[in-house]
Amino acid sequence: MKAYRRARLRESASVADVTDAADREPVEASADSATATQEDITQEIEAISANYAAATRPETMPRLDYPPYRSSILRHPTKDLHHADPETIELYAPVFGLRDVDPLESDLTIQRHGDPIGERIVVTGRVVDGAGRPVANQLVEIWQANSAGRYIHKRDQHPAPLDPHFSGTGRCLTDDQGNYRFTTIKPGPYPWKNHHNAWRPAHIHFSLFGTDFTQRMITQMYFPGDPLFPLDPIYQAIVDPEARERLVAAYDHDVTTHEWSTGYRWDIVLTGSQRTWMEGEDDR
Amino acid sequence: MTGARLPPTPGQTVGPFYGYALPFDGDSELVSTQHPKAVRLHGTVRDGRGSPVPDALLEIWQPDADGMISREPGSLRRDGYTFTGWGRAATDDTGHYSFTTIEPGSSGNGTAPFFAMTVFARGLLNRLFTRIYLPGHAALASDVLLTAVPADRRDTLMARREGDGLVFDLTLQGERETVFLAYPGN
């Protein structure tokens, strides 16, 4: 109750204060959220998980309605999504090219005048559609915290150091085979205000386009073996264990390079393309 | 369109910290404000309590005024002349977003024109899709999607004309909840 009142007070004082506090203390969270313990949240996660284990049809996407992630409580649709057959513009995706993205934007370690602190890594993989066809020459955008778990975003007030040599944002175009590749620094985990002592597992945000508008998606890539996985309500909102695993990159020693960086591989499957491809179209 | 389906990679929330990564100069200006057919498409995003959502990110994708679908690159570095059909706008501290664009034309056989929209937000665990129809078009009454939506919810997919702009408000949850779409395979 106290946390809720505090947030409302902020709102009446200044809208900017609320947004500054946005993820640290969500105004729309239930009254007791900021005082919930990790144990409370873990119990909620486990209860949902136990209930799901009884289900037969695997869920492939996160639940939109997942109360352990408090910010979702007032932001998920409560009515059924309306099933629609994609038409006209929905059967196409915007086109990006070399005019949009400089190849250097895929290296997050060379954007400022100096080397960022942390573990240099390469993250690479392939973007394909549901039928396994490469999503070629399409935009991939990433953003992430630095090695200390701090974003340069003004709303991030985590008292960990900013790195003057690291912006944490990158872009690239997939190649003709759908491959993407980024050089970056391994992000650190960071605290947030979902509940008391809440920590997000280290992750890199990925924004992806397919060949159809209907394939547009944003997600998060995680690192193998993170001890925070069972505690994190955002990761656990994907209730199917195999589906969750699809967000975890694999360490790949073939991507690791001698005396330079370690390597991770993460392949991405978009939902199926609905459009019948025309001959020659995929070599654009 | 046949053959084995690979299980899709799950989505996740855009989170609160996309602000320094996804927005870019000119992101919401599909055309210049000086364009003779420029129109403002704007509105407010609200949550289940009616509070504005100050950390949502919206994208639109549309044909040009003649219904042609652009295959031109250049959305991220606009040249002021090429219509790419795609734009992105973050909501401000009052939950308001604004695009400068042109009204889409019909893309086929006189069907009702619409903007395709994607919605991302902190607290929203996966993206949502919707459509924004233009008011007053003759084909609205026979539109396949609109006629399949319950009559009392149809207007959540309609922009309204106000001044020289189009207003389209989104409600993520509740009584006035916007109709969000699921496509086959989603």
A158 is catalytic: no
* Residues 23-42 (B) with a CB less than 8 A from some CB of A: none
Interface test with B, best of A33, A75, A96, A153 (most B CBs within 10 A): A75
In this predicted model, what pLDDT tens digit does every residue of A77-132 receive, in sequence order? Answer: 999 999 999 999 999 999 999 999 999 999 999 988 899 999 999 999 999 999 99
Ranges of beta strands (E only) in A116-240 are 120-128, 139-144, 169-173, 179-185, 190-192, 198-200, 203-208, 217-222
User: Considering only CB atoms, which chain A residues are within 8 Å of B86?
Assistant: 94
Cα separation, B9 vs A16, in Å, equals 35
Q: Do A153 and B8 touch (CB under 8 A)?
A: no
Instruction: Select which of A133, A158, A181, A205 is catalytic.
Output: A205
DSSP A231-282: G-TTGGGS-SHHHHHTTB-EE-TTTSBTTTBEEEE--EEPPPP-SPPPTTGG
Residue B33 scores a pLDDT above 50: yes
pLDDT at site A283:
38
Phi, psi of A282 (to 5 degrees): -80, 0
Q: What is the mean pLDDT of chain B?
A: 95
B43 versus A155: the higher-pLDDT residue is: B43
Residue B9 scores a pLDDT above 50: yes
On whether ipTM exceeds 0.90, the answer is: yes
Q: Closest by alpha carbon to B21, among A252, A155, A157?
A: A155
In this predicted model, what pLDDT tens digit does every residue of B137-183 receive, in sequence order? Answer: 999 999 999 999 999 999 999 999 998 799 999 999 999 999 999 99
Q: Are A45 and A51 in contact (CB under 8 A)?
A: no
pLDDT at site A157:
82
Does B80 lie at the interface with A, CB-CB under 8 angstroms? no
Q: Structure tokens of A40?
A: 């409370």
Does A245 lie at the interface with B, CB-CB under 8 angstroms? no
* Residues 126-185 (A) with a CB less than 8 A from some CB of B: 128, 130-132, 139, 141-143, 145, 151-156, 167-169, 171
Does A283 lie at the interface with B, CB-CB under 8 angstroms? no
Write down the residue that tokens 């078009």 correspond to. Answer: B137
Q: Where are the alpha helices (DSSP H) in B57-186?
A: 144-148
Cα separation, B12 vs B14, in Å, equals 6
Instruction: Select which of A4, A10, A203, A235 is catalytic.
Output: A203
Place B4 in a pLDDT band, splitting at 50, 70 and 90.
low
Cα separation, B20 vs A167, in Å, equals 9
Q: Which residue of A has its CA nearest to B64?
A: A89
Segment B116-140 shows an average pLDDT of 97
Cα separation, A67 vs A61, in Å, equals 16
Place B186 in a pLDDT band, splitting at 50, 70 and 90.
confident
pLDDT tens-digit profile, chain A (284 residues): 333 333 333 333 333 333 333 344 443 444 445 789 999 999 999 999 999 976 678 999 999 999 999 999 999 999 999 999 999 999 999 999 999 999 999 999 998 889 999 999 999 999 999 999 999 999 999 999 999 999 988 778 889 999 999 999 999 999 999 999 999 999 999 999 999 999 999 999 999 999 999 999 999 999 999 999 999 999 999 999 999 999 999 999 999 999 999 999 999 999 877 665 544 444 33
A66 is catalytic: no
- Of the candidates A152, A218, A242, which has its C-beta nearest B120's C-beta? A218
- Of the candidates B13, B69, B185, which has its C-beta nearest A92's C-beta? B69
- Of the candidates B8, B178, B181, which has its C-beta nearest A269's C-beta? B8
Q: Do A218 and B128 touch (CB under 8 A)?
A: no
Burial class (CB in 10 A: 0-12, 13-18, 19+), B22: buried
A151 is catalytic: yes
pLDDT at site B22:
97
User: Alpha-carbon Rg of chain A, whole angstroms?
Assistant: 20
